[in-house]
Amino acid sequence: MGPLEAALASLAAAGLVGTYLMVNAAVAGPWAKRKVAAAFWDKIGPNRVGPAGLLIIVADAMRFLSKELIIPDRADRPAFDVSPILVPLSAILGFAVIPMGSLFGVNVQLADPETGVAYVFAVSSLATLGLTMAGYASNNKYSLLGGLRAVAQNIAYEIPLVVTAASVVLLAGSLRTSEVVAAQRATLVSVAGVSIPSWYALVNPLAFVLFLVANLAEVGRNPFDVPEAPTEIVAGYMTEYSSVYFVLLYVGEFVHIFLGGAIAATLFLGGPAGPVLPGFVWFTAKIWAVFLFTQWARSAVPRVRIDQLIEIGWKGMLMLSFANLLAVAVVVGLTA
């Protein structure tokens, strides 16, 4: 395959992965989120537009995209325009190194660099910059408060998230995402002839729980949704956004939720591993399981105050994540 063919193949693969993410976000945002919340709150949810209300996805897209794009007076226009692009783009770039399993005999992974785990956290953290830009550029005090809250929250929980992932890297002995997944294929224990894989969620359940909690804060889900907090600061950093800009921020939020699920699946749940079904199907099921967990938290757990959120991050999550990393380092050192 020549350079041109390789470039075209890479573009086609990236387009397919991007389409896959957009379809998941489109189903999750307008429809699945409402259905899950309705189930928790004893309501019905979308049921009028199409079968099971599925066409609410199309209706919402037409409604938002047909609205006028309003730019606030004295807004910082370059930052105001770039922010809605940066938020979803940072999540899409993160999927470049995620092993998604095989589909029709083709292994779905765009790139497999030696620093894959570090890369995915680096690019996903760019969303914080986008939220800060959105809050500052809107020339609105509520938006500014939302942007400042996003910065404080993401810094407080990004460190425990990365430190927890570092414990997995110690166990796997590699930053390459494919090797982290491969390290979880061994059998942890065999019970009644059934082999239980050595997924790191089973090997180190504390790290898995810490990761899920920190991920809730990273994607802004209850009880850590204070950057938006509708009852306090209108819609936070999204207050002044409308039309396609609002759609981009909204979709970006859900793509980040699925990226968090993809990272959790890669680091703790064996990636695309699973019996009978193709790996790509198992990968999709796992990221949707993490999405449903975030929706459970959104529907069932009340929001904490901003001071409580910061205290949980710096005094609780950070200490536990470093304690977990130290324990894993000792175990790995003794068993090496």
Residue 19 lies in a domain: no
Residue 321 lies in a domain: yes
Residue 6 is predicted with a pLDDT of 67
Q: What's the whole-number mean pLDDT along residues 45-63?
A: 85
Percent of the chain residues past pLDDT 70, beyond the cut: 97
- What sign for the dihedral angle of Cα 289, 291, 295, 297? positive
In the predicted model, is pLDDT for residue 1 greater than 70? no
Place of tokens 């379809």: 23
Residue 13 lies in a domain: no
Q: Could you tell me if 219 and 256 are in contact, meaning their C-beta atoms sit under 8 angstroms apart?
A: yes
Q: What is the pLDDT of residues 252-272, one digit of tens each?
A: 888 888 999 999 999 999 888
Q: Could you tell me if 145 and 233 are in contact, meaning their C-beta atoms sit under 8 angstroms apart?
A: yes
Count Cβ atoms below 10 Å from residue 175 Cβ, excluding itself. Answer: 18
Average pLDDT, the chain: 85
In the predicted model, is pLDDT for residue 317 greater than 80? yes
Residue 179 is predicted with a pLDDT of 92
Domain that holds residue 240: 71-335
In the predicted model, is pLDDT for residue 41 greater than 90? no
Q: How many domains does the chain have?
A: 1
Residue 54 lies in a domain: no
Residue 47 lies in a domain: no
Residue 252 lies in a domain: yes
In sequence order, which residues have a C-beta less than 8 Å from that of residue 205 and are 6 or more positions away? none
Residue 60 lies in a domain: no
Record the tokens describing residue 141, joined without a space.
């005090």
Percent of the chain residues past pLDDT 90, beyond the cut: 20
pLDDT band for 323, please (50, 70, 90 cuts).
very high
Q: What is the pLDDT of residues 85-137, one digit of tens each?
A: 888 888 888 888 999 887 777 777 888 888 889 999 999 888 888 888 888 88
Residue 42 lies in a domain: no
Residue 2 is predicted with a pLDDT of 65
